[in-house]
Chains A and B, each alone.
Chain A
Amino acid sequence: MMKTNKKTPKNFILSLEDVSISYGTFEAIRNVFCNFKKGNITSLIGPSGCGKSTVLRSLNRMNDLIPNCSLKGTVLFDGTNIYDKRVDPVEVRRRIGMVFQQPNPFPKSIYENIAFGARINGFTGDMDELVESSLRKAALWNECKDKLNDSGYSLSGGQQQRLCIARTIAIEPEIILMDEPCSALDPISTLKIEETMHELKKNFTIIIVTHNMQQALRVSDMTAFFNAIEYEDGDGGKVGYLAEFNSTKKIFNSPKEKTTQEYISGKFG
């Protein structure tokens, strides 16, 4: 068998094996080993500049869109290295959807925002039903069922973000990546999104980057703590690495690493 057809370890939907990512000559993150369990919510936490968003974007090849970004190592999804030359990044993104930091609905109606993704993915079923069920799953249906033809921009920030989640759900991905989905939102909208995530857990695997440690504690089963250290040659540049990866309970109650302890207690970051 080809090397790329290695089995993803049991129960693990996505595995990073010795992944290092660089922007040009600048190495952002080094030697990450990490397994994501199916049906779990995993949060990635860490101080700014530790490369957690970079790691998240590498999971569905959004990094391809950043010039000069290169990845070493293997990202196994469904038994395939998604960085294999034969892999179509578009297909990867269809199965691993993404929600971004800033709510970014299309300048179309609420209905079209959801139908767009489904349509380009060749959905032929009942579109009305899909729109309704996606909005329901994203806990937005009751708020916008009477104005499906209004522009996506007419919603509040929190609603827009849930619309973006609904849009991602509609393409029925296996994994949903969320890049600080609540950082632009108020506490009440944040709470709503978190409730939504608990609902989504039943059908999807979620990987979320967050700066908010309380949020990581509230929503996630597993937590990965990333940190940045200075290069050995000591010219001030920093490189990110995965400091500790464990169940959320253990990370927050009895972390093994001293830096994890310091970060979650707010001593730096």
Chain B
Amino acid sequence: MNSLYYQKRLSRNIGDKFFTSLSVICALIAILPLIFLVTYILYKGGSQITPELFTLEPNPPGDDLDAGGINPALIGTLIITTIASIIAIPVGVGGGIYLAEYSKGGAFSRFIRFGVNVLAGVPSIIAGVFIYALIVSTKILFGSMYSGLAGGMALSILMLPTVIKTTDEGLKLVPNELRYASLGIGASMYTTILKVTLPSAFRSIATGVVLGIARAAGETAPLIFTALFSYYYITGFGDLFYEMGSLAVLIYNFALEPYDAQNKLAWAASFILVLSILSVNIFSRILAAFTEKTKRV
């Protein structure tokens, strides 16, 4: 009879130990890039942060002057992301409502679900080229070519799948009993969705929307084809129809410059971008945790 005590030298126990440590090592290697990336950017960019950074225009590279600030790019990123949200959130939430509440799992909804998954996998540069062909090269937007508006449209394509999917999944989590409760007292489908189902799923949808925004805000490739870049302050509504700077494109442009001042500015912009995306992600975590707490009540 074997002893009941744990025996180290048994081959199954040795194998077990080996695989446990192997998976721990793999997990550590997986997290290393993130740690290095964040610390390196914090180190390189953090030292460049000055109050002027947030208020000045970037100077054109070449004249040995100071590089200036990133104000237009910062505001530009905010504006472009907002435009993307204004387009993607209503369409995405509406599409998600259709998938989760109205569709009956037929061919049409299966096609949409499949399409959304494909769209989620489309490389961001393709979204940029698509909007370039559709909007920029045709000058369809009141004759303007590269514009913040076109940039927002390109980013909204990238946001859409995330928003649709999280809305769909968030609504599916709402128990059917709650729908029946509302329908059983004579509420219409539309009242039920608007007043009962959507509010119950609100926080999980909001989490998905925030993650979608975070993804869009850091995209570069689609903006190179659509919003391009601008050195100048954004002064009014009309600037929407002209080239608009953004943090991501500023990094792309200035990191490749041979001048030290511009490189430093790119580092500073990276710092701001990473920090804001990180905080948006953390915000969505908090939102999700908050959801779980309220569900248990």
Contact = CB atoms under 8 A, between A and B. Distances in A.
Given A106-B178, A106-B196, A98 B184 contact: yes
A117 B188 CA distance: 11
A121 B186 contact: yes
B78 interface: no
B105 interface: yes
Contacts of B179: 65
B191 interface: yes
A59 to B, nearest CB: 11
A167 B181 CA distance: 9
Nearest to A153: B297
Nearest to A98: B184
B149 to A, nearest CB: 39
B183 to A, nearest CB: 6
Interface in A133-184: 151, 153-154, 164, 167-168, 170-171, 173
Given A67-B105, A106-B196, A153-B297, A93 B184 contact: yes
B297 to A, nearest CB: 5
A237 interface: no
Interface string B175-193: 1011111111111100100
Contact of B181 (A90, A100, A120): A100
B182 A60 contact: no
Contacts of A240: none
A98 B155 CA distance: 46
B71 interface: no
B285 interface: no
Interface string A91-115: 1011101111010111100000000
Nearest to B195: A116
B200 A107 contact: yes
A62 B183 contact: yes
Contact of A93 (B177, B183, B297): B183
A94 B186 contact: yes
Interface residues of A, number: 31
A102 B177 contact: yes
A90 B190 CA distance: 11
Given A67-B104, A67-B105, A106-B196, A168 B183 contact: no
Chain B contact residues, majority secondary structure: helix
Contacts of A102: 177
B185 A167 contact: yes
A168 B183 CA distance: 11
B184 A120 contact: no
Interface in B161-178: 175, 177-178
Given A67-B105, A120-B191, A151-B297, A105 B181 contact: yes
Given A67-B105, A153-B297, A100 B184 contact: yes
A107 B177 CA distance: 12
Contacts of B185: 93-94, 97-98, 116-117, 120-121, 167-168, 170-171
Contacts of B195: 116, 120
Interface string B188-226: 100100011001100000000000000000000000000
B183 A171 contact: no
A120 B187 contact: yes
A57 to B, nearest CB: 9
A171 B191 CA distance: 15
Given A120-B186, A121-B186, A164 B181 contact: yes
A169 to B, nearest CB: 10
A104 B174 CA distance: 12
A142 B181 CA distance: 24
Given A67-B105, A120-B191, A153-B297, A171 B178 contact: no
B180 A100 contact: yes
A97 B180 contact: no
Contacts of A154: 297
Contacts of B181: 100, 104-106, 164, 167
Contacts of B180: 62, 65, 98, 100, 104
Contacts of A94: 185-186
Given A67-B104, A67-B105, A151-B297, A117 B186 contact: yes
Q: Which 7 A-B pairs have the closest CB atoms?
A: A94-B186, A98-B184, A117-B185, A104-B177, A104-B181, A93-B186, A90-B188
Given A106-B196, A117-B186, A120-B187, 4 more contacts: A60-B184, A97-B185, A117-B187, A120-B195
23 contacts: A62-B184, A90-B186, A93-B185, A93-B186, A97-B184, A98-B185, A100-B177, A100-B184, A102-B177, A104-B177, A104-B178, A104-B180, A107-B178, A107-B200, A117-B187, A120-B185, A120-B187, A120-B188, A153-B297, A164-B181, A167-B181, A170-B185, A171-B186
